[in-house]
Chains A and B, each alone.
Chain A
Amino acid sequence: MKEKTKILITAQGDFVAQRFDLAAEVVIATVENGEPAGKSRTIIMDRPSPEDLCNMIMEEDIAMVICGGIEDRHYQFLTWKKIEVIDSVIGDYQSVLKKAIAGDLQSGDLLLLARGDLSL
């Protein structure tokens, strides 16, 4: 990971949102020298839109996107833009973020959920 990079997680409540195209909330974390730099930012979008989300990812100069299900065309677009996409991730976004910063997160990872109940 570069010295200072940004990670974006599509979120729904405390969890990684199930779908990229339906996500209306994203969490952006800045990572500096392998450590979180300050608090994560949460952005609520006007409406769920995968195209708007792709634009935001580019405008925000995001290096890594973590999400649940994503359509292939959006995945291809982001990877073509040299953005790392870790998809099909299930878990609470804080644990997911920690794992991503540690360089241990992979597509399809299912994290043991921090909360006892899984109700969203």
Chain B
Amino acid sequence: MMRKTFAVPGVIALDDLLAGFPHAAACLDEGFKIVAVNNRFEAMTGYGRDVAVGVYADFIVRSNMGNSRGQVFQKVAESGEAASIEGDIINRSRKKVAVRFTVSRLRTKRGGRSKGLLLVLEDISGQQTSSQGVRLGGGRASDIIGHSPKMQAIFDIMPLMAHTEASILITGETGTGKDKIAETIHRNSSRGKYQFVKINCGALPPELLESELFGHVKGAFTGAVRDKQGMFKLADKGTIFLTEIGDMPLPLQVKLLSVLDDRAFYPVGGERKEKVDVRVIAATHRSLHDQVERRVFREDLFYRLNVLHIHLPPLREREGDIRFLLDYFLQDYATRLGKEVQTFSESALVHLLAYPYPGNIRELRNIVEYCANVCRKQDIGKDDLPRYLFDRLPVSRSADGLPVKPEPTGEVMRAVGDGAKKEIPITPATGRRVGGDNWTAIEKEMILQALTAGKGNRQKAAELLGWGRTTLWRKIRQYDLA
């Protein structure tokens, strides 16, 4: 059995040394088996120290740094020269994380015998995004794009928010980029070099959510076969992003409030209070005011989270950004797909600029992806647009966020793009509510129609939709149409 720590004789215990590292780090012995890891290493790889210690490091790290047969480790151990390599790992959550690996030799003292290696894994996913030439809103280091006055106001306030420690509440319709704003604020804050941990409060049943957030001790419930650190502990010194906070069950809201006040919590079934230093950013597409009035969200928690507030405007209110985003995503997809598509024709733009995008940027991006796949010329024409853009009337949103068709005004909708304004006639509508008639429903219908037209053949359906087979199977699975 491996010792969990080894000490440089009479000097320091490795666990204590690694705890102070700002990145994931592990100490390896002379055979390149893991001797000690820090919390960040556990968070990044998904392997707890109880599993990782004593195992050959490559089995746990699962990198692409060219360490086949331990070549990199061997070279560093022999030469004493540290190696720094950029690559990635695949963690237990099946996520690929871009990482800068630094491997250096550990010795007992100057000229002494090699005791092993120090392996440091720096998460560089944030740096890669900005270095890959993603255009930046207002020239800021993020991949959020927009020139509209409403977005500019948000870009102006973001650096201020990054430099405080207060909790932030981000609201906005689905697809407006709440996650990206949260991550950008974290990356630009003093906590940026630590973990950004995201958890969807609406995706897990209450019991599981509590365990995910706060961890549990061995034996706390059936199946708790070992201690598990929760997301709050893994985000220590960093930021935890609680998305869909409006869906958090009331009993957990009490516990969250307690963490925000005391900076400490009890893991499920635990008797020892865990201290954490975490900044909380929460997001929701719901109106928390309404939730508070309906008594499904605690008022005190609302005020505690709503210290700083960002409301992301829906795309239809971002004057001029639609055209900008259309061009941006077209350039992106054309490059990725190796297509010569360069721009949108006037006839296509008329429809694209008039469409209200209830699914916001996510929907716009999907439409552009469709166009880039379907188009066989340099200009995207009206015929290259998804059919549903013509089938459906523009919809607006009611106060509760549900799509509502506009009242029959007989007026014209003003579409603004590229500085030029166009008058687009709108067919009078009935004004009835069409709850559920959103992007998801439309996309589901498109898939079903394509499958019907292709007589169930997915290859044909994918061709009809202008998607790859992989995209089709992913969406069929996503919408449970299999």
A contacts, CB < 8 Å to B = 12-13, 15, 18-22, 68-73, 75-77, 80, 87-88, 90, 108, 110, 117-120
Contact = CB atoms under 8 A, between A and B. Distances in A.
B58 A18 contact: yes
B51 A80 contact: no
Residue from B56, B64, B91 whose CB has the most chain A CB atoms within 10 Å: B56
Contact of A77 (B33, B51, B63, B473): B473
A108 B92 contact: yes
Say whether chain B's binding surface is mostly helix, strand, loop, or mixed.
mixed
A118 B63 CA distance: 17
Interface in B85-105: 89-96
A117 B477 contact: no
A69 B58 contact: no
A68 B68 CA distance: 15
A77 B469 CA distance: 10
B55 interface: yes
Contacts of A120: 56, 58, 68-70
Given A18-B62, A110-B51, A120-B58, A71 B482 contact: no
Contact of B91 (A20, A21, A22, A69): A69
B55 A72 contact: no
Interface string B42-69: 0000000001000110111111100011
B31 interface: yes
Nearest to A87: B94
B470 interface: yes
B94 A70 contact: yes
B477 A68 contact: no
B90 A110 contact: no
14 contacts: A22-B64, A68-B59, A69-B91, A69-B94, A71-B94, A71-B95, A72-B94, A75-B94, A77-B473, A80-B482, A118-B33, A118-B56, A119-B31, A120-B69
B455 interface: no
Given A19-B90, A76-B474, A118-B56, 15 more contacts: A18-B61, A18-B63, A19-B64, A22-B64, A69-B62, A69-B90, A69-B94, A70-B90, A71-B94, A72-B93, A73-B474, A76-B477, A80-B482, A90-B55, A119-B70
Contacts, number: 67
A81 to B, nearest CB: 8
Nearest to B71: A120
A102 B471 CA distance: 36
Nearest to A54: B470
A32 B142 CA distance: 55
A118 B31 contact: yes
Nearest to A72: B94
A18 B95 contact: no
A73 to B, nearest CB: 7
Interface in B389-427: none
Contacts of B31: 117-119
A69 B56 CA distance: 15
A72 B90 CA distance: 9
A119 B69 contact: yes
A68 B46 CA distance: 13
Contacts of A21: 90
Interface string B352-363: 000000000000
Contacts of B476: 80
A13 B55 CA distance: 17
Nearest to A118: B56
Contacts of B92: 69, 88, 108
